[in-house]
Amino acid sequence: MKPPQTIPVAPRLRDNRGMASIAVFLFAMVAVFILMANFKLNYAVSMSGDAFDTFNSQTVEKDGIAQIVKESILAIGETAPIVSSNPIQTEIQNRLASMTFPAGVSVALASADTLPANPFFPFATPVAAVQPAYFSSSPRGVAGMGSLFTSLAIQGAAADLGRYTYTFTRSSTLAPGENWTYTVNADLFSVPLTNIDVVAYGLPASGSIPSQAPSVPVGTFGSGVSTLVVTSNNPANDPTAYPDLYAPQAGTEVLPYQYRNEASFAWNAYEYIWNRTYQDGLLNTAESEPDPGNQASSGSDPTPPKGALYDFSLPAFDPANPGNYPCNPTIAGVTSSGNSLTIDCSQVQSQVIAIVDSEGIGSVTIDGSAGGGNPFILLIRNTAGGLGQTQVSFAGDNSRPAIFYLENSNVGFSGDPQVQGALFFDPTTVASGAVTWYGHFSFYGSASPLDTFPISVNDSPTVKDALAPLAPRVLLVSTTSTRQ
């Protein structure tokens, strides 16, 4: 038996097999590198895209936090019947807690400035108002605070309450490189409600908002008159609206948030001024006025009524029968005859005159002042409801700026007078007769008097400036955020 032999391998075949192995190896390497190159390119594109998407999402995130700050400030300081007494930190924290952030992301309030007061007459002395400018160092320019904000702030003298800063820390457990600090600057301005020339207001809490803007006869708005009305977005309600962006959620209309300041002006401020808090504030101020027309104390009249509040349910002061209490005080510029009062604007001395008509029996004639004078407020408060309206008649031109709050009144103008001032109609007040008005005019948009009331409104910076110390003020807030 032959021993097994090793089959000889030809040297060339062995070399070929080695070279083939190297070739396969190189081919594999090249293929791997091409795949890696392709992967790297796609990865780079993906990472660049993701980085941009992250940048965009954080822009949205910081703007959302700015919105939280704005709403928290308004919750405390808005000119509205109900405001929160919480500190700003609590309001911000409450809103932050209701937010949902991406997994691993948390945002916390790090520091917060204390909010300033928004004082206005009659509760406190308002901050001095000056005409804002877009680009100015003093007063501070309003450019950059948003065009819808500035369009309201720039209409007349306003008080700059300052800039307040709120910082937030953003941390991400999944991406520590995306830990940021968000800084929100809140710019607060206190704007007299009378700065907007014409407001057709809504009362979303105690009434309604106009479903569509009232019709306006030709000639109602003079040149340069600013107007404000906020209505339904539903084209079925308001034919001026388009379906483009109308998307009611669960049957509820959603006002685009960019118009938030307009809602403060045209809705919430009017809920406030027709609410008891403000009305009682004016009544109390009138009652405590040191009116120089009040009768003096005497032996027969030891405790005469004081102030500038006249109540139709009480008798007028009777000089022939002093000391017959209770009775109304005598008021400078106010004369009475039965249930009729005449107010001579040129003779008024008090800042606030209030007339209360709880039975709907009064009649008031307002004689204008041709000679100007200090501004004042005339409040006619009719709480009689359906019992009757107070008859109010304007006679003669008036160049003494005054704020007229007329509740449940039937207002008439004779002789097409020219009147300077602010005319506030409550939802039940009606009017007739022609008037040329310089200053502010507001009425309930859902009960417009314009169809029967030929008023011609004109913008008057002079009147706005004169009324600014006495007018209710609206807190306007602009927030901008930056990421560090």
Residues contributing to the site for other proteins (CB under 8 A): 5-6, 8-9, 18, 22, 25-26, 29-30, 33, 36-37, 40-41, 44-45, 48-49, 51-53, 55-56, 59, 63, 134-135, 141-151, 154, 200, 213, 215-216, 224, 226-227, 229, 233, 238, 240-242, 244-245, 256, 258, 480
The residue (of 272 and 438) whose beta carbon lies closer to other proteins is: 438
- Residue 189 burial (10 A CB sphere; 0-12, 13-18, 19+): buried
CB of 189 to other proteins, least distance (A): 14
The residue (of 234 and 339) whose beta carbon lies closer to other proteins is: 234
> In whole angstroms, what is the distance from residue 236 CA to residue 233 CA?
9
CB of 285 to other proteins, least distance (A): 33
CB of 143 to other proteins, least distance (A): 4
CB of 191 to other proteins, least distance (A): 14
CB of 350 to other proteins, least distance (A): 35
The residue (of 216 and 395) whose beta carbon lies closer to other proteins is: 216
The residue (of 71 and 287) whose beta carbon lies closer to other proteins is: 71
State the Cα angle at 335 between 330 and 336, rounded to 5°: 95
Residues 6+ apart with CB under 8 A from 261: 148, 149, 152, 476, 477
Element (H, E) at 248: none
The residue (of 315 and 454) whose beta carbon lies closer to other proteins is: 454
CB neighbours of residue 251 within 10 Å: 5
The residue (of 59 and 277) whose beta carbon lies closer to other proteins is: 59
> In whole angstroms, what is the distance from residue 125 CA to residue 105 CA?
45
CB of 57 to other proteins, least distance (A): 11
User: Are 297 and 304 spatial neighbours (Cβ–Cβ below 8 Å)?
Assistant: yes
CB of 342 to other proteins, least distance (A): 37
Token pair of 75 as six digits: 């919750």
The residue (of 55 and 325) whose beta carbon lies closer to other proteins is: 55
CB of 258 to other proteins, least distance (A): 6
Token pair of 22 as six digits: 């190297």
Amino acid at site 384: A
> In whole angstroms, what is the distance from residue 198 CA to residue 268 CA?
16
User: Are 470 and 351 spatial neighbours (Cβ–Cβ below 8 Å)?
Assistant: yes
Provide φ and ψ at 418, rounded to 5°. -105, 120
CB of 272 to other proteins, least distance (A): 23
Provide φ and ψ at 177, rounded to 5°. -70, -10
CB of 226 to other proteins, least distance (A): 5
Which has the closest alpha carbon to 397: 378, 416, 381, 379? 416
User: Are 434 and 417 spatial neighbours (Cβ–Cβ below 8 Å)?
Assistant: no
The residue (of 134 and 325) whose beta carbon lies closer to other proteins is: 134
Residues 6+ apart with CB under 8 A from 59: none
The residue (of 33 and 325) whose beta carbon lies closer to other proteins is: 33
Which has the closest alpha carbon to 297: 325, 278, 272? 325
CB of 380 to other proteins, least distance (A): 28
> In whole angstroms, what is the distance from residue 167 CA to residue 25 CA?
59
CB of 45 to other proteins, least distance (A): 5
User: Are 327 and 315 spatial neighbours (Cβ–Cβ below 8 Å)?
Assistant: yes
**Which residue(s) pair with 252 in the sheet?**
249
The residue (of 154 and 352) whose beta carbon lies closer to other proteins is: 154
Which has the closest alpha carbon to 191: 479, 478, 406? 478
Which has the closest alpha carbon to 99: 170, 164, 50? 170
Sheet holding 180-192, edge to edge: 105-112, 159-172, 180-192, 473-483
Quick check: bond before 449 cis, omega within 30? Answer: no
The residue (of 63 and 113) whose beta carbon lies closer to other proteins is: 63
> In whole angstroms, what is the distance from residue 327 CA to residue 306 CA?
10
User: Are 484 and 181 spatial neighbours (Cβ–Cβ below 8 Å)?
Assistant: yes
The residue (of 85 and 223) whose beta carbon lies closer to other proteins is: 223
CB of 454 to other proteins, least distance (A): 16
The residue (of 186 and 200) whose beta carbon lies closer to other proteins is: 200
